[in-house]
Amino acid sequence: MIHIDYRDSKPIYEQIADGFENLIGRGVIEKDSQLPSVRLLAMELSINPNTIQKAYSELLSRGMTYSVKGKGIFVASQKESFKERKLSELFDKMRKLILEATASGISGDEILSVLVNVQKTIREGA
Amino acid sequence: MIHIDYRDSKPIYEQIADGFENLIGRGVIEKDSQLPSVRLLAMELSINPNTIQKAYSELLSRGMTYSVKGKGIFVASQKESFKERKLSELFDKMRKLILEATASGISGDEILSVLVNVQKTIREGA
Amino acid sequence: MIHIDYRDSKPIYEQIADGFENLIGRGVIEKDSQLPSVRLLAMELSINPNTIQKAYSELLSRGMTYSVKGKGIFVASQKESFKERKLSELFDKMRKLILEATASGISGDEILSVLVNVQKTIREGA
Amino acid sequence: MIHIDYRDSKPIYEQIADGFENLIGRGVIEKDSQLPSVRLLAMELSINPNTIQKAYSELLSRGMTYSVKGKGIFVASQKESFKERKLSELFDKMRKLILEATASGISGDEILSVLVNVQKTIREGA
DNA sequence: GTGGTCTAGACCACG
DNA sequence: GTGGTCTAGACCACT
């Protein structure tokens, strides 16, 4: 369900949180359904329970889930569209990337060309 | 000459190294010209000399500079084109960004549209 | 595992980095296995943890290892053959040595003769 | 007469001392002839007089020269043959290089092969 | 004065 | 527990 890459510089707890956010946002996990318990997921992924706990706290603070004492953690109803939020995130990250590139003397056309190349390689790789 | 943002998660020594790499790569600092001394820059930026030293070591291992004991640190001649390297970096980061976005269900056309929007806002901001 | 010579002009952190590079390159330490922790090795060698950290950073930038925060430092898969790289290094150092010798008026045949003598004494010493 | 490479890791005073040792050893500068004064050489090479002074001290301690107060520094008669000494130096450096290479798993034949290749490239380059 | 190495001790994020 | 960053202060070789 969730894939962990230990070599990724992104911390494990964030990889887990992002993974669930994706599954929830894309509707793979439905609203009000229960997430696996901390202990269970920790065993399944062979990961320290503290790390799972941190990932779940992250999801909670992002408003993706709600917790019921003694019962577990459940998927919250999504206020704003998941895709909308992701598009907004993409916009911010893309903007930062482009500002950096521009500061290094790369032109707008060159950036566009890089984007097209990337998309091409991804299509070919798929 | 170099601007430090203490709130940035990017470590100080890397901000400094990146800053100089940019100045050197864009030709603002010429080949064989001397960089400010470790102690001087440390005083100017109110930063520990060891941190400056680490930034300069980073530049050295990136091949951007060469050092002469007792004399100072100087800008090396750039073997590989700076821009070429930056374009390659941009490609990698862009690829990662797009893969993430795609995993969230964003289409290639939508990504392109975001890019165009970003470029538009940057042009207007400038 | 690692031997330090304090009288050697080669800095300690480099002796450590070179030592591990050798162990890794020769396959003594296997891929994805964990290196001793910074603090542990510091205690074992009676060396300041910062110096160990610097040695490990060096290995990281050489691409010999990858680090996972909170978990440890691990041996990376070797892209370019270790031996290939070492042969290239040997070539460069040998070239420099021979150029110096030639500048002192030593002939090519004399250099070859010295090499044979050295190899002889090493075999006898072993 | 003497060539300085500021990028070389070898300190300048040593480059100067080695340069004179070479000229003296190969008979380019004759016995009992006078070396240029510290001030003169400093001006010619655009180098700090302290550095020249250190180079001359080095030559003195190597027994290559003798100094006469108020007159200057002169080339001493060479006790042991210059070439003999250089061969001995070459032997030591070569031995160290080969021991390092052997520790990295490079065989004696491979070392010989590298040597031959180096000599080949030098001949071709000349 | 210059760069480079090392020690000591602190703080942070992560697991 | 782990690695990583930063500060403070010392010493060294070299110019």
pLDDT in tens, B4-46: 999 999 999 999 999 999 999 988 999 999 999 999 999 999 9
CB count within 10 Å of CB D13 equals 20
Q: Which nucleotide is nearest to B68 (CA to C1')?
A: E3
pLDDT in tens, chain C (126 residues): 899 999 999 999 999 999 999 999 988 999 999 999 999 999 999 999 999 999 999 999 999 999 998 999 999 998 778 889 899 999 999 999 999 899 888 999 999 999 999 999 998 876
C72 Cβ nearer than 7 Å to chain F strand: yes
Residues B73-100: tens digit of each pLDDT: 999 998 778 899 899 999 999 999 999 9
pLDDT in the model for residue B57 = 97
SS3 C73: strand
Q: Which residue of D has its CA nearest to C95?
A: D118
Residue D124's pLDDT band, with cuts at 50, 70 and 90, is confident
Amino acid identity of residue D18, one-letter, is D
When pLDDT is averaged across residues A35-44 and rounded to a whole number, the result is: 94
Question: Which nucleotides of chain F have an atom under 7 angstroms from any protein CB?
Answer: 1-10, 13-15
SS3 C74: strand
When pLDDT is averaged across residues D74-93 and rounded to a whole number, the result is: 87
Residue D2's pLDDT band, with cuts at 50, 70 and 90, is confident
Residue D111's pLDDT band, with cuts at 50, 70 and 90, is very high
pLDDT in the model for residue B10 = 95
pLDDT in the model for residue C126 = 64
- In sequence order, the 6+-apart residues with CB closer than 8 A to the CB of A38 are A49, A52, A53, A56
Q: Tell whether the model's pLDDT for residue D19 goes beyond 70.
A: yes
Cα separation, A83 vs A2, in Å, equals 20
Buried b (16+ CB within 10 A) or exposed e, C56-84: bbbbeebebbbbeeeeebbbbebeeebee
C56 Cβ nearer than 7 Å to chain F strand: yes
Verify whether the Cβ–Cβ distance D114 to C25 is below 8 Å.
no
C43 Cβ nearer than 7 Å to chain F strand: no
Q: Tell whether the model's pLDDT for residue D125 goes beyond 90.
A: no
pLDDT in the model for residue B40 = 97
Verify whether the Cβ–Cβ distance B71 to D7 is below 8 Å.
no
The whole-number Å distance from B11's CA to F4's C1' is 10
Q: Which residue of A has its CA nearest to B99?
A: A122
Q: Tell whether the model's pLDDT for residue A33 goes beyond 90.
A: yes
Verify whether the Cβ–Cβ distance A99 to B87 is below 8 Å.
no
Considering CB atoms only, which of C86, C87, C117 is closest to D91? C117
Considering chain B, what percentage of its residues have pLDDT values greater than 70?
Answer: 99
pLDDT in the model for residue B126 = 65
A-facing residues of B in 11-30 (CB < 8 A) are 22, 25-26
CA distances from C1 to C26, C41, C83 (A): 14, 10, 21
Q: Tell whether the model's pLDDT for residue D11 goes beyond 90.
A: yes
Verify whether the Cβ–Cβ distance D11 to B69 is below 8 Å.
yes
B11 Cβ nearer than 7 Å to chain F strand: yes
Please give, chain by chain, protein residues whose CB is below 7 Å from any atom of strand E: A 11-14, 47-48, 50-51, 54; B 35, 37-40, 50, 53, 56-57, 60, 67-73; C 11-14, 47-51, 54, 68-71
DSSP state of B70: T
Cα separation, C93 vs B48, in Å, equals 36
Question: Mean of the per-residue pLDDT values for chain A?
Answer: 92
Residues A86-114: tens digit of each pLDDT: 999 999 999 999 999 998 889 999 999 99
Best probe of the B interface among A94, A109, A113, A124, by most B CBs < 10 A, is A94
Residue D56 to chain B, least CA–CA distance (Å): 19
pLDDT in the model for residue D126 = 64
Question: Mean of the per-residue pLDDT values for chain B?
Answer: 93
Considering chain A, what percentage of its residues have pLDDT values greater than 70?
Answer: 99
CA distances from D62 to A23, D3, D52, D73, D95 (A): 76, 20, 15, 14, 22
pLDDT in the model for residue D110 = 94
pLDDT in the model for residue C49 = 97
pLDDT in the model for residue D7 = 87
pLDDT in the model for residue B80 = 76
